[in-house]
Chain A
Amino acid sequence: MFDRETITNDRDPLRAQFQGMKGKLCASPELKAALITGTPLHTPAVGKRVHIRRFSKAIAVYAMCALLLLGTAIALPSLLKGMDPTSASSSTGDHDCIPPAVAMSSPSQLYERLLSEPNVVYREVGTIYFQDGSVKTSHVTEMTRRGDLFTTLNYGDGEPEHVRYYDVGGDKPCVYYNRNDLWFTSELRGDNATWAHWCKAYMAVNWLEDEHYEKTADGYKFTEEFIAEQIEEFKCEDAEGTLTFQDGVYTLRVVRHKEQFREEPCESVFEIQISFGNAPEIVLPEATICTHEYEVEVIPSDHPCRYGDETRYTCKICNDWYNEWSPTVPHNIVDGICTGCKLSEEEIGNLPDDDPDNEDHSDIIYGPYVEMSISRPSMQEFLEFYTVFQRKNTAPIVVTDLGDQKNSITQYHFYGGIINKNTFPDDYDYDYSSGEIRVPIQFWYSFYYNCDDAYFGTYDYGIVAENYTLDNDAVIDLDNIRLERVSTGMETFSAKHELSAKGKKEGEIRYYEIYSGENRLMKFAICAVASTEDSYYDSICQQVVDGLVKLG
């Protein structure tokens, strides 16, 4: 029997380079002594600061979500309308939080108003009372939309933290961002500039972290290390980036010259110009200021805390809180424990085993893990795929495109293919005892191409099929499926969408479209795959893609 890892190790010259290094990298005796005696060597980082930062981040996320909704709203007005702002008030459940003193305008309400009322400043003032009682933190964020200029101003602890101006009008969208009194401009150029590309320009403002730039005799510059990292980010199969510096301006040029699952050559080129400089000369028109105040006490709880129509969850182990607007942190809180802590607890067997029968799953063949991304040079043709399918043979394939969400800058993630009652998507806890099989699809609205760093909201759907069999010969009646918003216990609003099967049945592939009112939100296909052979799968995917394109 060959041991692939052993063979690899023997042939791996890098291993020799690390030989013996372990013994030389050791914690200090003082630190070890401190650990044993329980005497702190330094004052450990306290939760207070973490929470403050987390809240600042949350505000930033809200602001970014606002932008995101700005984009999605263009294509998905009905989806926005579908967010029922009154649902919060009708929600029941244990409330472990102090209810808001003043009803807070929800993010969805706020953003809708931002879209419709261009010369109003929306100011949120939040006071957070943490459990220890000693920490009271107020934050303010202001969001405005004045013409094509979208502004957010965030304040942390009463001090201005950062200001951002997003100029979304004209041919050259700009993002201005200040940090430490240094202004940073990110400007998008390129004939093929799309909304999605603009978001990359936006993304660039996140480069302005302290550790990313330094002051030199010639002014501010990004560190070489950081530049190297950025270039590396684009060195993937279908894109490459170059970052040049001239006359104080960085130009990031990205060429995407390959589109997976498409035969015809298609090249997308765009540039983002980034510079350090002075504050932009922006004259803000007079605006009406609307202030929304809220306060909340964060308490570890088995139950979600609600204020406004936001649901907030706290983990009773780590005390961190999460909401539906911060999906990348371990927001799945089950039984009051977040995913991160749950994993830790499971390690030591403190939680019930998810697989009480302790069955041997070694026979489960994990299909290829595929992430497909397709982007076209123009917004009208913008198309992006992401599929993740990971289960045994006969796993349904779910492929979709952005369909009519052309104006959104969406990274699409989905998870598909549940076929065995003992297997379920790693990221969800579904109850399969109901006699239904669910193929969850998760929309990630994200500026990021790396899902590890995605920050933004999600919409979870489940394709539900009833009367299926729970064995490896799973049968799904493709004529009898429906689409549901997946409830992870975090939903604060709901939207009704109709599912319609369209087109002829092509082989085993069935095409569906999802409508919200009269607007098609997305289209997708489902089919059963009899083999996990790459070539077979690719062939099926190609057929699916062709079929989706035919659907228009």
Chain B
Amino acid sequence: MKDPQDDRAQIVENYADMVWRIALSRTRREEAAEEVVQEVFLSLFQKERTFNEEEHLKAWLIRTTLICCKHYLTASFRNATISLDEVGDLPAMSEGQSTVYEALLSLPAKYRIPLQLYYIEEMDSDACAKAMGLRPGTFRVRLNRGRNLLRELLKGEGIDV
């Protein structure tokens, strides 16, 4: 008999990083990201949800992550002094990449998440829009504005894109 933990392990292996990255990007706190990741997977495993396709699972995880992040940020309203300094040590990346990632994190969430999904998670814009519950056109507008903001920030750091 197949051990349910094997299924869990597979899902965690496939998606925990993605959920963590999105949560980190949204909350900008590593601790918060870990809490959100647990909330999301708890919700997934507790209700023994089934998905017809892998893409459905992925979309559900992204959407649930964003909802959990929103709840987290709302709940921690009083204590939420979120600055980039609190992100803690970023994972080892090249200097250039660290700059880019820090610039990304400094953007408003409205633009940060679209960029995160599009560039880091490498999803196409329609899938991103669906996961975020936005119209494709709205998503593209945010993506474009986010790009422009990011370019400006990177320009200030001497990275011309």
Contact = CB atoms under 8 A, between A and B. Distances in A.
Contacts of A54: 74
* Interface of chain B: mostly helix, strand, loop or mixed: helix
B97 A24 contact: yes
B20 A31 contact: yes
Interface string A15-54: 1011011101111100110111110111011000110011
Interface stretch (A66-74, A190-198, A340-348, A508-516): A340-348
A209 B83 CA distance: 13
Contacts of A471: none
B97 A20 contact: yes
Nearest to A31: B34
B56 A25 contact: no
Contacts of A210: 78-81
Nearest to A37: B5
Contacts, number: 147
B120 to A, nearest CB: 5
B20 A36 contact: no
A36 B71 contact: no
Contacts of A40: 38
Contacts of A349: 52, 56
A149 B23 CA distance: 43
A25 B12 contact: no
A5 interface: yes
A348 B38 contact: no
Contacts of A35: 8, 12, 16, 37-38, 41
Nearest to A56: B77
B12 to A, nearest CB: 5
A42 B34 contact: yes
Given A45-B35, A232-B149, A32 B13 contact: yes
A321 B92 CA distance: 42
Contacts of B92: 24
A13 interface: yes
Most buried by A among B38, B120, B150, B159: B38
A97 to B, nearest CB: 23
Nearest to B161: A13
A347 B58 CA distance: 10
Given A24-B97, A340-B67, A45 B108 contact: no
B119 A44 contact: no
Interface string B49-85: 1111000110110011001000110111111111100
Contacts of A282: none
A80 B5 CA distance: 58
A16 B98 CA distance: 14
Most buried by A among B31, B77, B79, B125: B77
Given A14-B147, A369-B137, A45 B100 contact: no
A144 B17 CA distance: 51
A263 interface: no
Nearest to B28: A211
Interface in A341-375: 343-344, 347-350, 366, 369
Nearest to A161: B78
Contacts of A22: 17, 21, 120-122
B12 A32 contact: yes
* Interface of chain A: mostly helix, strand, loop or mixed: helix
A15 B91 contact: no
Contacts of B129: none
Contacts of A26: 17, 20-21, 91
Interface string B76-118: 1111111100000001110011001100001010100000000
A343 B130 CA distance: 10
Contacts of A14: 119, 147, 150-151, 161
A211 B159 contact: no
A211 B59 contact: no
Contacts of A44: 35, 38-39, 42
A477 interface: no
Contacts of B34: 27-28, 31, 41-42
B102 to A, nearest CB: 12
B21 A45 contact: no
B81 A27 contact: no
A218 interface: no
Interface in A157-183: none
B63 A344 contact: yes
A452 B110 contact: yes
B87 to A, nearest CB: 11
B125 to A, nearest CB: 6
B17 A27 contact: yes
Interface in B1-36: 5, 8-9, 12-13, 16-17, 19-21, 24, 31, 33-35
B72 A45 contact: yes
Contacts of A479: none
Contact of A344 (B64, B76, B124): B64
B154 A17 contact: yes
A25 B17 contact: yes
A36 B9 contact: yes
6 shortest A-B CB distances, which residue pairs? A27-B20, A18-B119, A13-B161, A50-B75, A347-B60, A26-B17
27 contacts: A14-B161, A17-B97, A17-B100, A20-B97, A24-B91, A25-B101, A35-B12, A35-B16, A36-B8, A36-B12, A41-B34, A42-B34, A44-B42, A45-B75, A45-B76, A49-B75, A53-B77, A57-B74, A210-B78, A211-B82, A223-B83, A347-B59, A347-B60, A348-B52, A349-B52, A349-B56, A366-B137
Given A24-B97, A45-B76, 4 more contacts: A17-B159, A22-B21, A35-B37, A347-B63
Interface of A: 5, 13-15, 17-18, 20-22, 24-28, 31-32, 34-38, 40-42, 44-45, 49-50, 53-54, 57, 209-211, 223, 225, 229, 232, 340, 343-344, 347-350, 366, 369, 426, 452
